[in-house]
Amino acid sequence: MTRRDRLGRRHVVVLVAAATVAGVLAGCSSSKDTPKIPDGRRPTGVLGAGFIDAAAPPAPESTIRPQPGSWDAVRPPRGYHVVLLTAGDDPATTALVTGVKQWATAEHVRLETVAVTKSDRFVDAIVEAMAPAPDLIVCAGNALVDALALVTASHLNQQFLVVGAQVPEPTVNVTAAIWQGASSRGGEVPDTVSSFDPGAFTARHVGAAIRAGVASVLSDITGIVIWLE
């Protein structure tokens, strides 16, 4: 049985399991059903000029190239609840995990971590991350991409941010922040040096990706790919 077949079978399991997990919201049929940010969870600050073209907002699945720093003024509300979903302990994933934890501390974010090492538990880990219904699930580790592609489309009310990788066909609830050497698309699109280079996961790039990605989600600009220089 191939890895994709195993993930496919586990997808059936997750749809049943998620329905019984308290706090996990049921999936919706279209992006129109995705709720807007509640007033009490709105960010401090607004996106600066150069993040997007306000006259032509990005279409779903499109890629934007925001001006550096155009996201700096947007901060999460105190107590913003994030679950860090991570797979692996390779240098790239470790850099991402470190960056997320540093950001969470600096922003007074309420952070929980779900760490998984075995590929046959990736789907279970996503369900576990969704269980407390966090404001955002931040995904670190390109090994998670295939499982995320299977699960996220069935749970449009849960926002995901993938840092340093991307889902090939993201739904409205999946945003990605990527850069040169950190743009893996999972097992169906083989990596190259330009899409995955462990040396590209520097503290500067990781920090910018987390802040830009979270700022985009907080500003209700989701389901896109954010390309950082």
pLDDT for 152 equals 97
Least confident of 32-41, 177-186, 206-215: 32-41
pLDDT of 93: 97
Q: 47 or 37: which carries more pLDDT confidence?
A: 47
Domain ranges of the chain: 3-228
45-68 mean pLDDT: 94
Distance CA 181, CA 184 (A): 8
pLDDT at 32 over 70: no
What value does the mean pLDDT take over residues 144-164? 97
Residue with tokens 């910018």: 208
Structure confidence by residue, pLDDT tens digits, 201-215: 999 999 999 999 999
Q: What is the pTM of this model?
A: 0.83
pLDDT attached to residue 37: 52
Rounded to whole angstroms, the Cα distance separating 135 from 37 reads: 9
CATH among 1.25.40.10, 3.30.1050.10, 3.40.50.2300, 1.10.357.10 for 3-228: 3.40.50.2300
- Judged against a pLDDT cut of 60, whether residue 4 lies above it is answered with no
* Residue 98 reports pLDDT greater than 60: yes
Question: For residues 142 and 170, what is the distance between their CA atoms, to the nearest angstrom?
Answer: 15
* CA–CA separation, 62 and 116 (whole Å): 30
In this predicted structure, the answer to whether residue 41 has a pLDDT above a threshold of 90 is: no
Backbone angles phi, psi at 216, to 5 degrees: -65, -45
Q: Which residue has the tokens 């500003």?
A: 219
pLDDT at 17: 43
Q: What is the mean pLDDT of residues 4-9?
A: 50
Q: Give dist(CA 138, CA 2) in Å, integer.
A: 27
* Average pLDDT of the segment spanning 159-167: 97
Strand partners of residue 225: 63, 176
> For residue 96, what are the contacts with CB-CB under 8 A and spacing of at least 6?
86, 140, 141, 163, 164, 201, 206
Beta strands in 141-218 (DSSP E): 160-163, 174-179
Mean pLDDT of 81-97: 97
Mean pLDDT, rounded, for 64-91: 95
Rounded percentage of the chain residues whose pLDDT exceeds 70: 82
pLDDT at 8: 52
Q: How far apart are CA 48 and CA 52, in angstroms?
A: 9
For residues 197 and 35, give the distance between their C-alpha atoms in angstroms, rounded to a whole number. 36
